[in-house]
């Protein structure tokens, strides 16, 4: 697996000191886009992991117009050891998508990327439990020729797959920002599903959502 200390170092760098206000603002923005999670919610920690990945990998820092992982690599590249360079460069090359798990075999997850319809193999993670058929947002991070999951996951009901594929078809030829917006919109729908489990799924995963 990817050595945790590398990502932890980036987290420490971009959540403290001069970045304290920025990470607070980013959290406010994320909850506005995806719905607010509260500490009492059973899914609160999962949402925090999803936010932190969005902040580190996707959201441009206000003063630099680069994500924290990209800025860190650009600033440190010349001083990194070959091992460090390999890891930190990999963090700038994550595959952020909606995946469906096809099968699990010999400590390997076999996934289909619903955006590209390409298959991908990810090393089994010890921090998440997956079952065949699961549909979820995640980041696949390359490291030494293999892929590993990031920390953030957003699981969607398998019954929502048809709607998700429909939305992907509409935006897949557009710029990256449309892809990221769709992922945020879907995360908001998932939170609504958690909040209102008695509401029919078709009224939540919809362009004409009832709530």
Number of Cβ within a 10 Å radius of residue 35 = 17
> What does the block give as tokens for 164?
């998700």
**Per-residue model confidence (pLDDT) at position 52:** 97
User: Given a cut of 90, is residue 74 above it in pLDDT?
Assistant: yes
Mean pLDDT of 14-32: 96
Between vectors from CA 17 to CA 12 and to CA 21, what angle results, nearest 5°?
A: 100
Residue 12: half-sphere exposure toward Cβ, Cα within 13 Å: 6
Q: Considering only CA atoms, which of 68, 46, 72 is closest in space to residue 58?
A: 68
Say if residue 189's pLDDT is above 80. yes
pLDDT in tens, 60-70: 999 999 999 99
When the pLDDT of each residue in the chain is averaged and rounded to a whole number, the result is 93
Beta-carbon-side half-sphere exposure of residue 193 (alpha carbons within 13 Å):
20
**How much is the pLDDT for 175?**
80
pLDDT given at position 88: 96
Q: Is the pTM of this model over 0.85?
A: yes
Write down how long the chain is.
211
What pLDDT, on a 0 to 100 scale, did the predictor assign at position 107? 85
* DSSP for residue 41: S
Burial of residue 47 (number of CB atoms within 10 Å: 0-12, 13-18, 19+)? buried
Query: Quick count: other Cβ atoms within 10 Å of Cβ 76?
Result: 15
- Is the pLDDT score of 209 beyond 90? no
Q: Please check the confidence at residue 210 and state whether its pLDDT lies above 70.
A: no
Which residues neighbour 165 within 8 Å (Cβ) at sequence distance 6 or greater? 114
DSSP 84: H
- Greatest Cα pair distance, the chain, in angstroms, is 55
Q: Show me where the domains of the chain are located.
A: 4-91
| 91-147 pLDDT per residue, tens | 999 999 999 999 999 889 999 999 999 999 999 776 778 999 999 999 999 999 999
**Considering the chain, what percentage of its residues have pLDDT values greater than 70?**
98
């Amino acid at each position: 697996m990817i050595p945790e200390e590398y990502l932890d170092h980036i987290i420490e760098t971009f959540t403290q000191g001069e970045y304290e206000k920025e990470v607070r603002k980013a959290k406010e923005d994320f909850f506005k886009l995806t719905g607010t999670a509260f500490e009492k919610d059973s899914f609160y920690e999962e949402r925090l992991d999803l936010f932190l990945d969005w902040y580190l990998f996707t959201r441009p820092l206000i003063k630099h117009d680069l994500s924290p992982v990209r800025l860190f690599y650009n600033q440190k590249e010349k001083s990194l050891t070959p091992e460090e360079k390999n890891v930190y460069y990999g963090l700038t090359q994550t595959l952020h998508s909606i995946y469906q798990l096809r099968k699990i075999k010999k400590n390997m997850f076999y996934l289909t990327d619903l955006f590209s319809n390409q298959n991908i193999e990810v090393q089994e993670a010890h921090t998440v439990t997956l079952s065949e058929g699961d549909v979820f947002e995640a980041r696949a991070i390359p490291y030494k020729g293999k892929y590993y999951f990031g920390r953030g996951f957003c699981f969607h009901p398998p019954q929502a797959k048809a709607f998700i594929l429909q939305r992907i078809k509409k935006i897949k030829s557009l710029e990256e920002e449309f892809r990221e917006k769709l992922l945020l919109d879907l995360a908001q729908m998932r939170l609504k599903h958690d909040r209102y489990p008695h509401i029919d799924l078709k009224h939540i995963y919809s362009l004409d959502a009832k709530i």
